[in-house]
Chain A
């Protein structure tokens, strides 16, 4: 069955970077794009961007342009999301979610809590 397993919680200081991983299994890794979505405490969902695991092409939300980098490792079926210049407002749960068709997200990782605090 399709599984997306994310890396564990992180605590970072303002100005630092964080890299969250999402390991996929149960399907052909390069056949489905992967979204990243975050959710600040008590807040709604925010789309961050998408990566094509086949060729590595990406598209990022304007709010994150210049701060986010999404990459993939086809040898381990893992996608990564790195966010730099962290500030307290980046404290959130970060999710990876597999794209089905036309931006539909049918399978989600369990989420990774990133806390930014001095």
Chain B
């Protein structure tokens, strides 16, 4: 299966809200509520921010939220802060052959 499609970059000013999309197909995003989002700062391991479309792990700010419509999932970050500047990756369950696929990643710049 091909990677999920994300915009290469998004940007926003402190305090604003941004949304990152993640488009798949009916074989992955569209067929399962098993989309996760990861944040990765340079030189660091990824960090889980959202799982199962819209659930936040313990310790993750309420400013991060997720949603899904059809074959596209979205991550919204409200009240942008400087520390939110990072790369963001979506992932989805993709069936029994290739269990997990990732998006290509989106670089978030806080202006």
Residues of A within 8 Å of B57, CB to CB, are: 106
Q: How far is the CA of A55 from the CA of B47 in the complex (A)?
A: 27
For B89, what are the chain A residues with a Cβ–Cβ distance below 8 Å?
A: 44-45
Q: How large is the interface on A (under 10, 10 to 19, 20 to 34, 35 or more residues)?
A: 20 to 34
Quote the shortest CB–CB distance from B6 to chain A (angstroms).
9
Q: Decide: A103 near B34, CB < 8 A? Known: A44-B89, A108-B46.
A: yes
- Binary interface profile of A, 84-115, with partner B (CB < 8 Å = 1, else 0)? 00000000000101001111111011110000
Residue of A at shortest CB range from B89?
A45
Closest chain B residue, CB of each to CB of A104: B51
**Most-contacted residue by chain A among B3, B34, B91, B100 (CB, 10 A):** B100
Known: A44-B104, A44-B105, A45-B89. A106 touches B48 (CB 8 A): yes
Q: How far is the CB of A22 from chain B (nearest CB, A)?
A: 12
Q: Decide: B97 and A62 in contact? CB cutoff 8 A.
A: yes
Q: Is the CB of A47 within 8 A of B97?
A: no
Residues of B contacting A31 in the complex (Cβ-Cβ under 8 angstroms): none
Given contact pairs A44-B104, A47-B101, A50-B99, A103 touches B91 in the complex (Cβ within 8 A): yes
Instruction: Please give me the residue from chain A that is nearest to B36 by CB atom.
Output: A104
User: Which A residues lie at the B interface, using CB under 8 A?
Assistant: 35, 37, 44-47, 50, 59, 61-62, 95, 97, 100-106, 108-111
Residues of B within 8 A of A (CB): 3, 34, 36, 38, 45-48, 51-52, 57, 89, 91, 93, 97-105
26 A-B contact pairs sorted by A residue (CB < 8 Å): A35-B100, A44-B3, A44-B102, A44-B105, A45-B91, A47-B98, A50-B99, A59-B99, A61-B99, A61-B100, A62-B97, A100-B48, A101-B51, A102-B93, A103-B34, A103-B93, A103-B99, A103-B100, A104-B36, A104-B48, A104-B52, A105-B38, A106-B48, A106-B57, A108-B45, A110-B45
